[in-house]
Amino acid sequence: MATDCTAETLKDPKERQSLRRRLLAWFGKHKRDMPWRRTRDPYQIWLSEIMLQQTTVAMAGPKFTVFVAAFPTVHDLAAADEQQVLRMWEGLGYYRRARGLHAAAKVIVAEHDGQLPRDVKSLMALPGVGRYTAGAVASFAYDVSAPIVETNTQRVLARLTGYRDEVVGGAGQRHIWNAAEALLPTTGAGTYNLALMELGALVCKPSDPRCDECPVTAHCAAFAGGLQNEIPKLAAKVKVTAVREGTVVVRKSGRVLLRQRAKGERWEGMWDFPRFALDGEGPLFVRRELVDNVREQTGVDIEPGPLLTTIKHGVTRYRITLECYEARATGGRVKSTDESSVRWTPLAELGDLPLSVTARKIATLITKQG
DNA sequence: AAGTCGGGGTG
DNA sequence: CACCCAGACTT
């Protein structure tokens, strides 16, 4: 029963229609311009949704434009080399999305005649497409009446319905999806979904929502109870672990030593300088770790040089301090396995390979130095 | 149900 | 620093 969990105020059809009308009027005045809102091409809409998963609009915008220029159609994407796709994804993070996108493009060409499916079930069968993305593509591209729940709409719906329990987890998600479904119009679902999301992004913000600018406070249980800052209930925060890692730029006659990240590793499929956890404190101990780890990962023997730079960055729940050393090769030979290949790469070719952001920073640094 | 996966922007 | 971002997938 879709309305079982819905707040009392939203059980009345007239109430829901009034809410939608106010929301759409507000959206008409305040909607932002975005690259993917200028097209109805299902391929581009799907691409934008994958790109926007856990990624800000500001970050995705420029990447989207460049990506579409490189792969204008699903056929272009399906025919592309995965390395090219990863290269275009560089800097966006969650690189599994790029691999899934590429795999899904092949499925769409092979099984759907190059057309994005219209129905939620078929969309969800594609790699990287969950219930949110399926609903987004179906409603935005085809105006199918499918609900969406992502971080914005989840927050808006929790507040509208005055849902005080934990929203992450089975019961909470059921409630939110039921509310999304209950409010969904039978026509114009795409615009309505966009409007609800936009309200969450611009007005119904995580902290200190601008209720004075909100078009639907009359329908909002959280506003009525003064609970806007208590709803939705925040998830337990994950604790961050500090990690120290080392990476080495090994040079040999104008080339540098790279290895490709193996399946199951972080940054799978992308290229990186030899990189590993660093345990030792003293310079001699570190020096030994560099020699041993480079040898183990690549088969190459090195003579470590000075510290080139230190980069601090975060990867999900890890806070990483990365020490980057220079070194020169003294012997050994590259060993590539099935899972991970190793190669000596000319500096001029670094621009063609997909690198992690840290590896790209180092590549830029050593390329400028010459 | 909990862990994993990136990286950058904001207060 | 803490928190947040058009989530999906694996264990």
Residue-level length of chain A: 370
Is the CB of residue A105 less than 8 Å from the CB of residue A125? no
pLDDT band at A1 (very low <50, low <70, confident <90, very high): very low
Contact A104, A127 (CB under 8 A): yes
Q: How many domains, in total, are found in chain A?
A: 2
Q: Is the pLDDT of residue A3 over 50?
A: no
Instruction: Classify residue A202: in a domain, yes or no.
Output: yes
Residues 159-198 of chain A with CB under 7 A from strand C are: 194, 197-198
Distance, CA of A135 to CA of A284 (rounded, Å):
57
Cα separation, A72 vs A65, whole angstroms: 10
pLDDT band at A282 (very low <50, low <70, confident <90, very high): confident
User: Measuring from the CA of residue A194 to each C1', which nucleotide is nearest?
Assistant: C6
Q: Is the pLDDT of residue A342 over 90?
A: yes
Terminal-to-terminal C-alpha distance of chain A: 67
A341-359 mean pLDDT: 97
Statement to judge: residues A29 and A120 lie in one domain: yes
State the CB neighbour count (10 A cutoff) for residue A233: 14
How far apart, in Å, are the Cα atoms of A222 and each of A14, A109, A159, A203, A218?
20, 46, 5, 14, 10
Closest C-alpha among A134, A211, A147 to residue A174: A147
- Range list of H helices, chain A: 13-30, 42-51, 57-70, 74-79, 82-89, 96-111, 120-124, 131-142, 151-160, 170-183, 189-202, 221-225, 283-298, 357-369
Q: Is residue A33 part of a domain?
A: yes
Query: Both A24 and A171 in a single domain?
Result: yes
- For residue range A57-108, list pLDDT tens digits in order: 999 999 999 999 999 999 999 999 999 999 999 999 999 999 999 999 999 9
pLDDT at A4 over 70: no
Residues A283, A205 share a domain: no
Instruction: Report, as an integer, the average pLDDT of A355-366.
Output: 97
A132 and A272 within one domain = no
One domain, residues A39 and A150: yes
Query: For residue A87, which of A106, A71, A75, A109 has the smallest C-alpha distance?
Result: A71
Q: What is the pLDDT of residues A74-87, one digit of tens each?
A: 999 999 999 999 99
Give the CATH number of the domain where residue A174 resides.
1.10.340.30
User: What is the DSSP-derived secondary structure letter of residue A67?
Assistant: H
C-alpha dihedral sign at A254, A257, A261, A262: positive
Domain membership flag for residue A233: no
Q: How far is the CA of A259 from the C1' of B11 (A)?
A: 39
Tell me what pLDDT residue A283 has. 83
Q: How far is the CA of A56 from the C1' of B8 (A)?
A: 9
Residue nearest to nucleotide B11 (CA to C1'): A207
The answer on A264 and A212 residing in a single domain is: no
pLDDT at position A359, please?
98
A134 touches strand C (CB under 7 A): yes
Of A168, A197, A225, the residue at which a domain comes to its end is A225
A144 in the same domain as A24: yes
Q: Find out whether A65 and A35 touch, Cβ atoms under 8 Å.
A: yes
Q: Give the CA A28 to C1' C10 distance in Å.
A: 41
**Positions of chain C reached by protein Cβ under 7 A:** 1-9
Q: Please tell me the predicted confidence (pLDDT) of residue A5.
A: 46
Burial class (CB in 10 A: 0-12, 13-18, 19+), A95: buried
Residue A53 CB lies within 7 Å of the nucleic strand C: yes
A233-274 per-position pLDDT tens digit: 988 888 899 999 999 999 999 999 999 999 999 999 999 999
Which pair of structure tokens corresponds to residue A204?
Answer: 């119904």
Residues A211 and A98 in one domain: yes
Could you tell me the pLDDT band of residue A339, with boundaries at 50, 70 and 90? Answer: low
Give chain B positions with protein CB within 7 A. 1-10
Give backbone dihedrals phi and psi of A233, rounded to 5 degrees, phi first: -65, 130
Note whether A43 and A187 are same-domain residues.
yes
Cβ of A35 near strand C (under 7 Å)? The reply is no
Q: So what's the pLDDT on residue A2?
A: 38
Per the domain annotation, does A74 fall within a domain? yes
What average pLDDT does the segment A165-173 reach? 95
Told to judge if A166 belongs to the known catalytic residues of this protein, a careful annotator would answer no
**What single DSSP character describes residue A166?**
B
Backbone angles phi, psi at A308, to 5 degrees: -85, -50
Residues A171 and A275 in one domain: no
Domain shared by A15 and A158, yes or no: yes
State residue A152's pLDDT score: 98
Mean pLDDT of A133-141: 98
Signed CA dihedral, A178, A120, A144, A135: sign only: positive
Q: Is the peptide bond before A232 cis (omega within 30 degrees of 0)?
A: yes
Instruction: For A252, list phi and psi in degrees, rounded to 5.
Output: -150, 110
Name the CA radius of gyration of chain A, rounded.
25
Average pLDDT in chain A: 95
- Supply the range of the domain harboring residue A39: 8-225
Q: SS3 for A304-349, per residue?
A: EEEEEEEEEEEECCEEEEEEEEEEEEEEECCCCCCCCCEEEEEHHH
Instruction: Please indicate, yes or no, if residue A234 is contained in any of the structural domains.
Output: no
Q: Write down the pLDDT at residue A236.
A: 84
Structural domain ending residue among the three candidates A166, A191, A225: A225
pLDDT class for A338, splitting at 50, 70, 90? low
Asked if the structure places residue A265 within a domain, the reply is yes
pLDDT at A50 > cutoff 90: yes
How crowded is the C-beta side of A315, counted as CA atoms within 13 Å? 19
A237 Cβ nearer than 7 Å to chain C strand: yes
Q: In this structure, what CATH number is given to the domain that contains residue A315?
A: 3.90.79.10
3-state secondary structure (DSSP) of residue A302: strand
Give me the catalytic one of A8, A15, A49, A198.
A49
Do residue A155 and residue A216 come from a single domain? Answer: yes
Within a domain: A172 = yes
Interatomic distance A337 CA / C11 C1' (Å) = 27
Q: What is the pLDDT of residue A350?
A: 98
Name the more confident of A336 and A99: A99
Query: CB under 8 Å to A12, separation ≥6 — which residues?
Result: none
Q: Categorize the per-residue pLDDT at A11 as very low, low, confident or very high, splitting at 50, 70 and 90.
A: confident
Please indicate, yes or no, if residue A235 is contained in any of the structural domains. Answer: no
pLDDT value, residue A115 = 98
Which of A161, A193, A225 finishes a domain? Answer: A225
Using an 8 Å Cβ cutoff, are A354 and A270 in contact?
yes
